[in-house]
Amino acid sequence: MTESSRFTEADYYQACFDSRAYMNNFYCRPEGHSEEKNYLTFVLGCLSRTFSTGQYKGRSLIEVGSGPTIHTVISACEHFEELVLSDFVDKNREEIRKWVQNEEGCFDWKPIIEYVCEMDGKSSSDVEVKLRQRVKQVLKCNVLSENIFYPESIEPAECVITSLCLEAACKDLQSYRDALCRVAKLLRPGGALVMVGVLGETFYCVDQIRFSCLKISKANVEDILRNLDFTVQEFNIFLAQDRENNKVSDFEAFFFLVALKSTKTI
């Protein structure tokens, strides 16, 4: 059996991904999962620095592959009038909707929101209200489909975020290239692409369930963005610590990047 034939694809996620276990394991505290050594703190810090400048703002922000989480748009929400979140897995979208509607039993994002707001110098209660108000849609998405949001049609946005999505959805580098090209089309010319991803990872686990990941390098990502006519503004790396004892994943590094789409129209 080839490696690609064992790749955990969309149907496996729909059947086996435990949204609440994922949040409990990886997002119940700002440090993230204990075996991944402050990766979440790294990501939240990068997002805070990026959006606190006010350089990236506009009418709309789209996140492709939100999972069941809202952490990537906490620092951004003040700078965009409308937020569109999305995921392939039905239970993930339901978790987001529960939080947005403040339903009883929704996941408690307060520790993460308070941590981010302390960095941003904002009131956590104000940001929580604003975030709930500005999430306008939670859509089904499939990055392997030509129209990611089919049958919906979405206007291009000033900013697109994708976090820990493409490596999990794409079983080979060509699929990853194609998916990133589709994500790029969601951006207006001159818009900002914000990516969070993992380098050198082949798997991660949610409780005892194992999911595949496409092993990619920094050079892979930079090459694809260059060919899509993006200019990388920053590319930050968080190297794995104590990798040999990490049972939840085998990542070599997390990355955070910001890239600007060319203003040229085709």
- Asked if 218 contacts 235 with a C-beta cutoff of 8 angstroms, the reply is yes
Give the residue carrying structure tokens 């520790």. Answer: 111
Lay out the sheet containing 80-87: strands in order across. 135-140, 80-87, 58-64, 157-163, 187-199, 253-261, 230-239
**135 CB-contact burial (10 Å; exposed 0-12 / middle 13-18 / buried 19+):** buried
User: Token digits for 253?
Assistant: 């590094």
Q: Please list, in sequence order, all residues whose beta carbon lies within 8 angstroms of the beta carbon of residue 186, skipping any fewer than 6 positions away.
A: 62, 64, 148, 154, 156, 157, 160
110-120 vs 124-134: helix crossing angle, rounded to 10: 110
- Asked if residue 155 lies in contact with residue 136, where contact means CB atoms within 8 angstroms, the answer is no
Binding-site annotation, residues for S-adenosyl-L-methionine: 22, 27, 65-66, 87, 92
CA distance linking residue 133 with residue 46, whole number of Å: 24
The binding site comprises: 22, 27, 65-66, 87, 92
Other beta carbons within 10 angstroms of residue 12's beta carbon come to: 13
- Rounded CA separation 169/212 (Å): 9
